[in-house]
Amino acid sequence: MNKRIAALSIFTAGVLALPLSAASALADQTGTFSGVSNHWVNGGVKVSTAGGKTTITLNSNFKSQSGPDLYIYVGNGSPTKRIAKLKKFKGSQTYTYKGTAAISSVHVYCKRYTVGFGTAKLN
């Protein structure tokens, strides 16, 4: 086997050995908010990952009931990692998540009263 074919074989083997989670982590995920705990939050969210950085974008149709101390959280079904204070109660806004753990949901959560306002499950 010549060196060129051997190198190609090693490269191809390395690409095929990538775990599916690493490949799927680069795909955009979207979700739609629904209210929780007798509160309301509407609109869409998009989560994009590139270059080790995850961007959370609340769509232009995003609206949240007003409340004190509202934050964006991420998690896997429940709000586990605080990202940033909610910038405004309606409209497009972007946040950066620097963690490495996979996430399956985005939350609008009142830190002061430890109550959720809305959740978006990502797909």
Dist CA 34 CA 119 (whole Å): 6
Q: At 26, is the pLDDT very low, low, confident or very high (cuts 50, 70, 90)?
A: low
pLDDT given at position 83: 97
Q: Which domain, by its residues, includes 111?
A: 24-121
3 falls within a domain = no
54 falls within a domain = yes
Task: Count the domains in the chain.
Answer: 1
* Burial (Cβ within 10 Å: 0-12, 13-18, ≥19) of residue 16: exposed
**Domain CATH code at residue 72:** 2.60.40.200
Q: At 21, is the pLDDT very low, low, confident or very high (cuts 50, 70, 90)?
A: very low
Against a cut of 0.75, is the pTM above it? yes
114 falls within a domain = yes
* Cβ–Cβ under 8 Å, residues 65 and 41: yes
Rounded percentage of the chain residues whose pLDDT exceeds 70: 79
For residue 15, is pLDDT > 90?
no
pLDDT given at position 32: 98
49 falls within a domain = yes
Average pLDDT, the chain: 84
Q: At 4, is the pLDDT very low, low, confident or very high (cuts 50, 70, 90)?
A: very low
Dist CA 33 CA 15 (whole Å): 36
What number of residues does the chain have?
A: 123
92 falls within a domain = yes
Q: How far is CA 23 from CA 28, 47, 50, 78, in A?
A: 11, 15, 11, 24
19 falls within a domain = no
14 falls within a domain = no
Per-residue pLDDT, averaged over 50-61, amounts to: 93
4 falls within a domain = no
